[in-house]
Every structure is written in C-alpha cells, then in structure tokens.
Amino acid sequence: MDISIEKVESKGTEQWIVCTGSLKMSFNDQPSAMAFSSKLKERVEAPHSLPVIDSGAFEQAAELDCVR
C-alpha cells in the first residue's frame, strides 16, 4: 500500500495531507502526519489471520440448494 505525505499551503497556513488510495487525511503539523502514516503502515503490514470457516457450513448450504 502506497502512503504519501504532502505539504499544502493555503491562506498563509500549512497543512499536511496523508494520502493512501482514496483516503486523504489532513493534519496541522508534520509530526502528526508522520505519526499517523507510520501507525497506518504498521497496521496494514501487521500479520492478519484469516477466519476459520466450519466445513459443515458448506454442507448445509449445499443441502439448501444455493451452492452448485
């Protein structure tokens, strides 16, 4: 996942924008933007376990004739 930080100046104030995909979050200072992007990257890259699906659920669905 690409995460970028942009500095934007408007009406004499600066804002820092963290962008990833269609998400754009604005911050009043660079350290806050950096902290957010660092935590976001950490969470995205963290190992995630896949949910375990009981095989009986597939058998029940087949009995209902909704899986072919």
Q: What are phi and psi of 42, to 5 degrees?
A: -60, -45
Per the document, the length of the chain is: 68
Q: What are phi and psi of 14, to 5 degrees?
A: -110, 145
If one counts every other C-beta atom within 10 angstroms of the C-beta of residue 18, the result is: 20
Residue with tokens 């979050």: 25
* Digit-coded pLDDT (tens) for 31-50: 999 999 999 999 999 998 88
Mean pLDDT computed over 49-63? 72
Query: Model's pTM, two decimal places?
Result: 0.66
